[in-house]
Structure 1
């Protein structure tokens, strides 16, 4: 124990010479490249979401499956990703953040190949389950790795990149639907799903060039490697030493808690700051999926069909427009997240989603009681869906991953983020697997009114509980959660 204390003291003394430096605000190209490469894993999830919305139309006819089987097929990936999410925390603590990203890509690659060559529904479902594990791994690890690598001034933008790539993947999935839909129904959906194996292979190979997380290296006692990574990922050596000093201080505190274990510290007699972090991380992940966004994207053709759009080409065309709008707004959010902060953009997006879902419910209700399907009501539904996914991309979409990956201290970051991601996957799976069934019981209009109510509660939760974290180092954020004063709109 004495040797450990001396090691951290020596490290802090070495780093103290940089504590007077002020971190620069510019982008570090090496960090940007590493963050983009880590986040490309998210393209695979986005592609699956986008391509499945169209592929399921052909799968249902080709394999002659029921609506219940469609729900199981769509939702199974989200439910099974729970396994990957739960495993990701321990795995990344043991073997590192970088190798966990590689395992995630390799697992999704296997699942994509199984789906592409599926001869039956059961075989296809098995491929979805394997791919789901890869999705669960990547959802947690990409933002955690990026948050630990990034300087505080650009962490919001860089950590929101996974959501940007999810939306790019969704758009690519929609394009794939159009490209392969001209083929026979026995081949088109297999190519739509199986082609995802190509980028997965490239990602698994390219990630080998990325550095390991400096915070993970320090926790493992590999100080020299951590210092070299920080020098490359900072805008000056002084800034690197400042970051090293903060990491060393946090690591020293973690050593004093060694033996307590992350699960015990989080769930059995947690301190007030840790309890607040856990509630906030679980809460924002819950509302992200309880908003129904994944289900709206997955089943957008069904929603538009209920609105009066029946031709397959028109259905796919409208979903592509939705994908373009969604991608545009998530890019806008990522670019301005470090300027305006997490809270204002989260509240703006959540309020916008509440209004959009209410409008979608109103339009759907009117169409349900109308025989002629008036054009204005159809336009209202299309605009409301596009608005809903756009406001999601401004707020909950990127900020959920940013917030979940930055609020926990280093010793709990991987495990805490994996718990939050697990809640995310469970809720997403439940919503996706029940969306059509509930809509058949209470109609699409009723379902959207329920989702609007859930988002209204979410707005209140975000306003009351979530403090602002922009511009703070990961080590400084813990101090914010020790502050018992009411949460202001901005710091």
Structure 2
């Protein structure tokens, strides 16, 4: 019985779908945090406990988490290469638990902000290292699908936490928000304990001198344990070539990010994460309560129900992207998504500007831009908001995590992906802080700003972003080795693709050159000794 159980665990731990999807719990932590805030914005107990924060104060409370995430994502530049991808994910889970405890027990804004910063560090670590881990343990044919699960897990975290918030809204007193904040530590505990059962990244193992372990992990994940499998041999030889090439260039450092074609790739990764935030999804997730309040929805329960529909759509519409991301390609999804999101944002802003006015619908005297007495306009704003979220979920959401994880060589991947993710959190922090005052001052014009960002992103993607779908991480190198001569929209899916024979032949050349160099050094030593 024990033997069968061990064998079953081994099969589970070597299934790339199971390994990659389990690590996605780290992405779900970000989703939990989004709902933990959006669900309490109009909670009377929350408002009373934290002294009725004004738009600037509420923006600061929300921004504390992405500010911590910025720190955490930058820390990955060191942790991912030093202690490994797996251990960094485990560490992120335990830091989240500490942050959740502080949030749950918070009695004032200062304590809440500190708890959110600590939780943010965890989210920053997980959001940067999980895509790296997934991209390095999956085959090229399913890499996009697996890394895009990061976005899906975020949507599930948002949805689950939001329904917990909705259920707890019927509880009187501080328990209505403390219970959800306490329960969110459970997934992190599961993540940290469960990751102990799964393998380390084979690329990290090879780079740190564990070649046989790396080969066995590749065989377990992609060849049913067969180290002679063609795909396993292909990946192993490519990793060997890449590591050998990088070792000949010297030790890793941050200066490597400025060498060769790396600056271009770093800018692509950072700018894509920037555009994902500037798309306006930040408004529709953190501050959807404010958006629907401005659309004319009244009553806490009514608003919460309308919000929950949006979160359900976010989960559901991410599924087609996961299934087809490796067929549709990265560029088409980004181009279509940015156009659609820009269109819906301008519609929301136009409807709000045409039919809204300054008023105080909640009876507290707080002035907001609101649509009143026009149910058609109210419904139109809600529908456009739903369509915006659907457009993000099926395009930009998954690709914004997948694309940066497959852009970089092994030597700089940890640092470069961490910087890309740091860009996400830097703009997330700025927007989380700026959106409430923005809605409070320029109201409907805020949506026009984000719509313009989306159209700018479309132009940037069209002219600068090459297609990477279906290539191994090492084959992506072939695209950028062309330097500034390649034209992004002309890069076909065959550019950079290698056959097994080509990879093996190249590996033999490297080994031959290595033996030749070793022989020369040995002969030189003999001559010096005789002298």
TM-score (norm 2): 0.84
Greater relative contact order, per chain length (Cα 8 Å cut-off, separation 6+): 1
**What are the within-5 Å matches in structure 2 for residues 353-372 of structure 1?**
353-369=341-357, 372=372
3-state SS of 1:253 partner: helix
Q: Which residue does the alignment assign to 1:3?
A: none
> Which 4+ runs in 1 deviate beyond 6 A?
none
User: Which whole-Å CA distance do the structure 2 matches of 1:248 and 1:304 have between them?
Assistant: 54
- Find the aligned partners of 2:470 and 2:297 in 1 and give their Cα distance: 46
Which residue is equivalent to 2:282? 294
Q: How does 1:236-255 map to 2 (within 5 A)?
A: 237-255=229-247
Asked if 1:34 corresponds to 2:33, the answer is no
Alignment match, 1:325: 313
Aligned position for 1:217 = 205
In the TM superposition, 1:22-421 aligns within 5 A as 30-58=15-43, 59-67=46-54, 68-235=56-223, 237-259=229-251, 261-267=252-258, 270-271=259-260, 273-369=261-357, 372-421=372-421
Distance 1:371 1:165 in 2: 34
Q: Deviations over 1:40-59 (max 9, x none)?
A: 11111101102310123222
Number of residue pairs aligned between Structure 1 and Structure 2 = 460
Is 2:457 the counterpart of 1:458? yes
Q: Deviations over 1:309-334 (max 9, x none)?
A: 02111111011100011111111111
Q: Distance in 2 between matches of 1:55 and 1:441?
A: 22
| Correspondence list, 1:402-441, <5 A | 402-441=402-441
Instruction: Tell whether the 8 Å contact from 2:371 to 2:378 is kept in structure 1 after alignment.
Output: no
CA drift at 1:29: 7.0
* CA apart distance, 1:84: 0.2
Counterparts of 2:123 and 2:301 in 1: how far apart (Å)? 29
Contact 2:69 2:124 in 1 (8 A): yes
Distance apart, 1:251 and its partner CA: 0.3
Q: Distance in 1 between matches of 2:36 and 2:416?
A: 31
Measured against aligned partners, the alpha-carbon deviations of 1:318-373 in whole angstroms (never above 9, x if no partner) come to: 11100011111111111100111111111111111111111111111123248743
1:3-18 correspondence runs (5 A): none
* Residues 175-224 of structure 1 deviation map (CA, whole Å, 9 limit, x = unaligned): 11111111123211111211101111111111111100000001001001
Of the structure 1 ranges 423-432 and 180-189, higher mean CA displacement relative to structure 2 is found in 180-189
What is the rounded CA distance, in whole Å, between the counterparts of 2:486 and 2:81 in structure 1?
Answer: 33
Structure 1 gap ranges (5+) = 1-27
Residue in 2 aligned with 1:488?
Answer: 489
Structure 1 residue 295 displacement after superposition: 2.8
Q: Contact (CA 8 Å) 1:147, 1:405: kept in 2 or not?
A: yes
Deviation at 1:299, TM superposition (A): 0.6
What is the TM-score when the length of structure 1 is the normalising length? Answer: 0.91
CA distance in 2, matches of 1:387, 1:315: 17
Q: Is the 8 A contact 2:49 2:107 kept in 1?
A: no
Q: For 1:171, what is the secondary structure of its paired residue?
A: helix
SS of residue in 1 equivalent to 2:153: helix
Root mean square deviation of aligned Cα:
1.6
Residues 406-415 or 55-64, more deviating: 55-64
Change over 3 Å in CA distance of 1:372–1:112 after alignment to 2:
closer
**Is residue 337–residue 391 contact of structure 2 (8 Å, CA) maintained in 1?**
yes
